[in-house]
Amino acid sequence: MKDYNAKIVGENIKTYRLAKNLSQKELGKRANVSGSYIGFLENGTLSKNSSGSLEVICKIADALGVTLDDLAGNNLECRQNEMNGLSQSINRILLEMENTSYSKLLLFQKIVNALIK
């Protein structure tokens, strides 16, 4: 990522954060910055020349599980398609689990919770 548009990066941070059901505070905690700082970035208030340093953007990308190119908007469409496909797969799994025993559902819940952490 040679250079970036702070507004686009901010919009993409918000898009990926919401897709992962994270609050600004939670993302900030994961990236070791404040939630209000995440808000400033999402609004495009901070630029790379102020406090929106590449180091901070890298931490946020890591916390979101995306690349710098993703945040710069270079891969957003691909990523959204991947997430849509994943969502469809999860819905199919849930439909297939309707007739699953309660103990198996609890096991599935534990596995999913372990993966999310």
pLDDT digits (tens, 9 = 90+) for 21-42: 999 999 999 999 999 999 999 9
pLDDT tens figures, 42-87: 988 764 445 457 888 999 999 999 988 888 876 656 666 677 777 8
In SS3 terms, the chain reads as CCCCCHHHHHHHHHHHHHHCCCCHHHHHHHHCCCHHHHHHHHCCCCCCCCCCCHHHHHHHHHHHCCCHHHHHCCCHHHHHHHHHHHHHHHHHHHHHHHHCCHHHHHHHHHHHHHHHC
pTM for this structure? 0.59
Looking at residue 78, what is its pLDDT?
63
